[in-house]
Amino acid sequence: MKSKRVGLIGAGTMGCGLAEAMAAKGFDIALVGRTPEDLQRAEAHLERVLTRRLQKWSLTEAEKKAILSRIRLTVDWGELKACGLVIEAIWERLPDKIAVHRQIEQVVGAEVPIASNTSTLSITEIAAQLQHPERLLGLHFHYPPDRRELVELVRGEQTSDETVATGRAFIESLEMTAVHVFESPGYVTTRLMLPLINEAIALLTEGVATAEDIDTAMEVGYGFHSGPLTLADRFGLDSVLKTMEALFSETGDPRYRPTPLLRQKVRMGQLGVKTGEGIFRYDEGGNRLS
Partner 1 sequence: MNILVLNCGSSSLKYQLFAMPEEQVLIRGGVEKIGSEEAVHKYQAGEREEKTTSTILDHREALRQVLATLTAPEVGVLQDVREIDAVGHRVVHGGERFAVSTRIDAAVKAAIKEMFDLAPLHNPANLLGIEAMEDVLPEVPQAAVFDTAFHQTMPREHYLYPVPYVLYERHKVRRYGFHGTSHRYVASRVSDLLDRDLSRLNLISCHIGNGASLCAIEQGRSVDTSMGMTPLEGVMMGTRSGDIDPSLPEFVMEKEDLSPEDVSSMLNKHSGLYGVSGISGDMRQIDDARKKGSARAAVAFAMYEYRIRKYIGAYAAAMNGVDAILFTAGVGENSALLRQTICEKLTYLGVELDREANEAGTGERVISTPNSRVAVCVIPTDEELMIARDTFVLVQQPNIGKR
Interface with partner 1 by CB under 8 A: which residues? 4, 26, 56-60, 147
Cβ 218 to partner 1 shortest distance, Å: 18
Cβ 174 to partner 1 shortest distance, Å: 14
Active site residue 140: yes
Amino acid at 97: K
Q: Using the minimum distance from each CB to partner 1, give the nearer residue, 74 or 160.
A: 74
End-to-end CA distance of the chain: 48
Q: Using the minimum distance from each CB to partner 1, give the nearer residue, 166 or 259.
A: 166
Q: Which of 45, 101, 132, 140 is catalytic?
A: 140
Q: Using the minimum distance from each CB to partner 1, give the nearer residue, 32 or 59.
A: 59
Cβ 58 to partner 1 shortest distance, Å: 4
Q: Using the minimum distance from each CB to partner 1, give the nearer residue, 57 or 222.
A: 57
Cβ 171 to partner 1 shortest distance, Å: 18
Q: How many residues does the chain have?
A: 290
Residues annotated as catalytic (active site), given as ranges: 140
